[in-house]
Amino acid sequence: MKTAEKAGRFFLTLFGIAGLLFLILSRTGISTDVVLSGSMEPGIRTGGLVFTDTRRRDPQTGDIITYRLRDVRITHRVVRREGTVLITKGDANEGEDPLPVEVEQVLGTVIFSIPFVGYLVTFMKQRTILAILTVMIGQEIFFFIQNELTERRIQYERRQEEKS
């Protein structure tokens, strides 16, 4: 097998496993978001992929949370509680966020992040790229099955010749 073919199969397998992992995580209450700004740097970098436990929706001071503000998902740190609202701040920001966060807005508590992987995820979510990858992964599965069947047929024919 050629080096380029091995590399291609490796990356397709990697993408397939990553896709399955994201599917499994979403079913277990873990959501993923791509960080679009530098407000949480250096801890969470722009382009990072943030994993949020959506079952943990009662954060404490110091926790990093993901919350919804209108149609936008924001990931910031809780700096304090004031009654039923949370006061948040991006680690790199000078001041606190201008609007307090109602507990109902909290989507979950961040459990970890992976730097720069968000760029790849954003690229992969494009319909054209997703369609191409789906076709390529399907093609690899087809060729894998075809190769297995061919090998089994050859082995069967060899055994038949040995018996004759």
Q: Rounded distance, CA 88 to CA 108, Å?
A: 14
Report the alpha-carbon distance of residue 17 to residue 37 in Å, rounded. 28
| pLDDT per residue as tens, the chain (164 positions) | 577 677 777 777 777 777 777 778 778 888 888 899 999 999 999 999 999 999 998 899 999 999 999 999 999 999 999 988 999 999 999 999 999 999 999 999 999 998 988 887 777 666 776 777 778 778 878 887 888 888 889 998 888 888 87
76 assigned to active site: yes
Of 33, 39, 53, 113, the active-site residue reads 39
Q: Is 71 a catalytic residue?
A: no
Which candidate in 33, 53, 97, 113 is catalytic? Answer: 97
26 has catalytic annotation? no
Query: Are 124 and 133 in contact, with CB atoms under 8 Å apart?
Result: yes
Contact 65, 59 (CB under 8 A): yes
Backbone phi and psi for residue 52, each to the nearest 5 degrees, phi listed first: -115, 130
Burial of 145 by CB count in 10 Å (0-12 exposed, 13-18 middle, 19+ buried)? exposed
Quick: pLDDT tens for 58-85: 899 999 999 999 999 999 999 999 988 9
d(CA 115, CA 56): 22
In the set 33, 37, 53, 76, the catalytic residue is 76
